[in-house]
Each structure stands twice: as C-alpha cells, then as structure tokens.
Amino acid sequence: MSLNSEDRYSRQVLFRAIGAQGQERLRFARVALVGCGATGSSVAQLLARAGVGTLRIIDRDYVEASNLQRQALFDENDAAESLPKAIAAAKKIAAFNSEIVVEPQVADLTPGNIEQLLGGAQLILDGTDNFETRYLINDFAVKNSVPWIYAAAVGSYAVTLNIVPGETACLACLFPDSPSGTFETCETAGILNSAASLIASIEAVEALKFLVGATEKVRRTLLAFDLWSNEHSEIAAAHRRPDCRACGQRDFIRLAGEGRPHITLCGRNSVQIHERHRPVDFTEITERLRAHGTVRHNDFVLKFLREPYELTLFPDGRAIIKGTTDTAVARSLYARFVGS
C-alpha cells in the first residue's frame, strides 16, 4: 500500500508560512549537505521528513560505534558493517521517505571535485567538522552566489550562520583566519548530542526559509549557544566586510587549493590519504593482504587490520589509516599495502 503525499506533509502544510505552495517548492528543491555526522545526520533527517525533493549527501567517512551516541541516522548494524555514512544515511531515509531522491556521495570534498559535487545545488548545508572544508564551501558559495549555512558543535557549544552571498557577511568576513591548532575538537572536548541536534534544528528551519522563498525571514546573525552554562549570543552579520578576502576581493584561494594540509580526522587518531584517484579492486587486494593481517570487505569499504594500524580503503582509492597521526607513517603503509 503506498502512502498519500498529502497526508504525509499535512501538518507542515497547515503551518501557514509554508502552506501548499511552500510544500510544492520543497518538492522541487535541490540541497547539498557536506558531512553526515551528528549535525549532518540530524539536519538530513529533518529535511528529508519535511519533503525536500533532492538531497545530495556528501561524506568521506564510515560509521563506527563511537558515532551512535549522537548520529541519529545510524545503528549498530551500520557500525558493524563499517558502512559509509552517506550510504547508511540514504538507506535510512529511504525507509521513512521513499518519495524524495537522496544522492549519496562517498567522497572527501576537495577543490578538484567541488564543482561536480556541489554544482546545481540551490542551497549548501554544513555538516562538516573542520574549517578547511568550510572555507572551501565558502569560496565556492560566494563565487557562484549560492546561499549556505555554517553550523558547528563541540562540547556543549554550538554555533551557526546563514550566508547570503552578495548580501550578508560570509564566513571569511567573520573569521578571516582559521582557528589555529588550539581550537577544540570533538576529540579533545567531546560533544553532547543535544548541542548537535539543537544546531541542526536551527540549520534545518533556516534551510526551509530559503527553500520556500521566505528570505526576509532568514536570520542575519551569528548565533551561538552553550547548553551547559545556558549562555547564548548573537552577533550582527547582516553586512559584508568590504575588505573581506572572499566576498570583497573575490580572491578564492581555497578553491585554488591553497592552504590544504593532510587531513587528520576529528575524533580519532587517524590520517586520510586521498591523492590517488583510481579505482581499486577489493577482491584482488583482499587476496594479496590476507598474508599480512586481517582483511574483509563489502561493496563499499575494505578493512585491513595490522596492529597497531587499521586501514580502511574506499573504491576510489582513498584511505583512512587509524592508529597514527603521522602522515609519513600513513603514507608508507598505504604505499606498502595498497600501492603507490
């Protein structure tokens, strides 16, 4: 028995600011979400249930047990199978809303693929855990005049900003430089699931305003909460900074690939290697690695365990190496066991 769309969205259509017309706009909306961790999976769930017609979910990582405390779209089976988060998210969403299109992309967003991954989106949502990717999104969005929403959560703190290119401040207006090495991450400060879900709710409702055309209602401040101390702040962000590198001088250094370090993932002792962009044959590699450690694979990932390291390989040749933060060690393991 198929479900009736009218019933599905009836409570949302009753909300006057959306109505039948807004709902129809959502059906034709095309949104890209970068990162599907705690904030990303909550925002994906909210927008998918709300009926956003096409949702492209880009994530480079796979599900692990430590994600289940806060990442609302994943379960124990996903962690046991090490499913890529984008794939697991698409499966979960299909079970509660099969009327929308979800386009999972297991990939790390880089200057080389950003055009292909974000092109065509009318709105870009931040679900990432790092400033490198956010500055990259900001350059792309400002250059192409696509609105985007910055959102971040760590510890009990959460923060968000709507960026309307050509009008409001952009990320680089407010934060010209990336917070340096002392900046807290989920790895050092932990994270409360409620901080991520609060900021995801705010990000999702601002997204709905953009998508139904209620742009005058879009918030024009940097909004931050600390849920544990019950503090919140709002900083005006309605105006661009004329001397801003990105939206003022239109100098898109991040799109050109400048300042891109080797990436160490949040929450783990691990390094990502992503220089190689050619397909790998899991069956062939499994055979070859069997003599050197424990190896298993499914359609989406290959896991190779050789104490104290664990190498996770994706079909495009990208790898996450756990057990080190030394890029030279990671690179040599990759060269030895996958190929250079």
Nearest CB to Zn ion, comparing residues 175 and 309: 175
Question: Judged by CB under 5 A, does residue 244 bind Zn ion?
Answer: yes
Q: Residues near 6 by Cβ (< 8 Å), separated by ≥ 6?
A: none
- Closest CB 138 distance from Zn ion, rounded Å: 8
Q: Which residues of 62-74 are buried (b: 16+ CB within 10 A; e: fewer)?
A: bbbeebeebbbbb
57: left (phi over 0), alpha (psi -120 to 50) or beta: beta
Interacting residues with Zn ion between 27 and 86 (CB under 5 A): none
Shortest distance (Å) from residue 271 CB to Zn ion: 31
Q: Using the rule CB under 5 A, give the single segment among 23-31, 97-105, 156-164, 236-244 that binds Zn ion.
A: 236-244
Size of the site for Zn ion (CB under 5 A): 6
Judged by beta carbon, residue 27 or residue 143, the one nearer Zn ion is 143
Nearer of residues 163 and 271 to Zn ion, judged by Cβ: 163
Contact pattern from residue 172 through residue 191 relative to Zn ion, giving x for each residue in contact according to CB under 5 A and a dash for the rest = xx------------------
The residues in 140-179 that bind Zn ion, with binding defined as CB under 5 A, are 170, 172-173
286 CB burial (10 A radius; 0-12, 13-18, 19+): middle
The least CB distance from residue 132 to Zn ion, in Å, is 17
- Of the pair 77, 249, the CB lying nearest Zn ion is at 249
Given the complex with Zn ion, which of 236 and 335 has the nearer CB atom? 236
Considering the complex, what minimum distance in angstroms separates the CB of residue 137 from Zn ion? 13
Q: Which residues 6+ apart lie within 8 Å of 24 measured at CB?
A: none
The token duo for 41 is: 């999976």
Long-range contacts of 257-264 (CB under 8 A, 24+ apart): 257/110, 257/111, 257/112, 259/132, 259/135, 260/110, 260/111, 260/132, 261/132, 262/327, 263/108, 263/130, 263/132, 264/325
The residues that touch Zn ion, with contacts defined as CB under 5 A, are 170, 172-173, 244, 246-247
